[in-house]
Amino acid sequence: MGTAPYDGGVIGRNHPYYPFLAAMLEAAHLAKGIHAYYLEKGFTHGTKSGPTDLVTQADHESEEAIKDLLLSHFPEAGFLGEEGGSEGGKALRFIVDPLDGTVNYAHGFPFYGVSIALEVEGKIQVGVVLDTSRDEAFYAVRGEGAFLNGRPIRVTKRKELLGSLLATGFPYDVAKDPENLTYFHRALSQGLLVRRPGAAALDLVYVAAGRLEGFWEVKLNPWDVAAGWLIVEEAGGKVTDLEGRPYRLGHRYIVATNGEIHEALIQTLLGR
C-alpha cells in the first residue's frame, strides 16, 4: 500500500479506517491505470440494458483489479460491484463502480472516474471517488471531513437557488422511465442553471467541492452514489430523497446540495 499520491494520511494513520482508506485509494489508482491503458490501446465494447448502455474492457478489468486488491487486504469483506454483482457477506463490504461515466469514457469525453465505498453494518464509513482523467481524488471518512487530493473541501454557502449551478442525469431507459424529464423541464423552465455531465459519482463530489450547489437524479444504483453520498455529507452538504427524508442506499431518488438551497430545489422539482 501507499503507492497512491494521496494515501489518506490526512485522516491520521492511527484511525481504525485508515488502512481501508489507503487501500481504497490504491485500488482507485489501479483503475486509473486501466482506464488510461485502454484509452491509449483502444477497446471493444458491448451493451447491457440497451444500445446506449455501454460496457468496455476497462469496466470489467478495473473491477477485477479493485476486487483483487481490496479482498487480498481484507479477505473477510464482501464485495458489490456493478459488473460482477455481489459476493461475500454484507457486514463489511465494498461497493464499487469501476468506471462511472462509461459513455463519456467511450467517447473520450473526460468526465468519468471510479467510485469505491466501504459499508460497515449498513452504514457507509469511507468513500473514495477518483476522477481518473484529471487525477482528482475526493475522499472522506465518516466524522473526519472531506478531502480533495489531501486538502479539505466544503460545499458552497450560496443561498439562492436561482443562479446556483446544478447537475442531474438520466437512466439509459429514460423513454421507459421518463420521470426525471418532468423535473428537468421544471428546473429549466424556472431559469435554473442545470448541467447533465454524465457521471453521477463525480456530480456528487462536485457538490462536495463547491463546484456545484446541487445535484439530483432518479433511479441510480448503490455503486453510483455510496461513496459520493458520504463525501457530500462530510463536506457539510445535505443528501435526501425527493421528499427531504434522509437518503438511504437503493432509494429511487437522490437530492444532494450545499444544504442552503435544498428545500427550494425540492419544491421546484416537485412543481410546488
Using CB under 6 A, list all residues that contact ligand IPD: 97, 100-102, 169-171, 198-200, 217, 220, 224
User: Which one, 137 or 218, has the nearer CB to ligand IPD?
Assistant: 218
Please give the full DSSP string across 153-169, using - where no structure is assigned.
Answer: E-------STT-EEEE-
**What is the CB neighbour count within 10 angstroms for residue 149?**
15
Of Ca ion, ligand IPD, none, which one sits near residue 133, judging by CB under 5 to 8 A according to partner kind? none
User: Which one, 141 or 209, has the nearer CB to ligand IPD?
Assistant: 209
- Measure CA of the first residue to CA of the last residue in the chain; give whole Å: 51
User: Which one, 169 or 237, has the nearer CB to ligand IPD?
Assistant: 169
82 binds Ca ion (CB under 5 A): yes
- DSSP secondary structure letter of residue 246: B
Of Ca ion, ligand IPD, none, which one sits near residue 220, judging by CB under 5 to 8 A according to partner kind? ligand IPD
100 binds Ca ion (CB under 5 A): yes
61 binds Ca ion (CB under 5 A): no
Which has the closest alpha carbon to 111: 126, 100, 121? 100
Q: Check if the beta carbon of residue 146 is closer than 8 Å to that of residue 140.
A: yes
Q: The cell 457538490 sits on which residue?
A: 207
213 binds Ca ion (CB under 5 A): no
Q: Check if the beta carbon of residue 9 is closer than 8 Å to that of residue 1.
A: no
Report the residue from 63, 97, 234, 260 that binds Ca ion according to the rule CB under 5 A. 97
- d(CA 132, CA 21) in angstroms, rounded, equals 17
- d(CA 105, CA 254) in angstroms, rounded, equals 24
Report the residue from 224, 233, 234, 260 that binds Ca ion according to the rule CB under 5 A. 224
User: Which one, 170 or 229, has the nearer CB to ligand IPD?
Assistant: 170
- Binding region for Ca ion (CB under 5 A): 82, 97, 99-100, 224
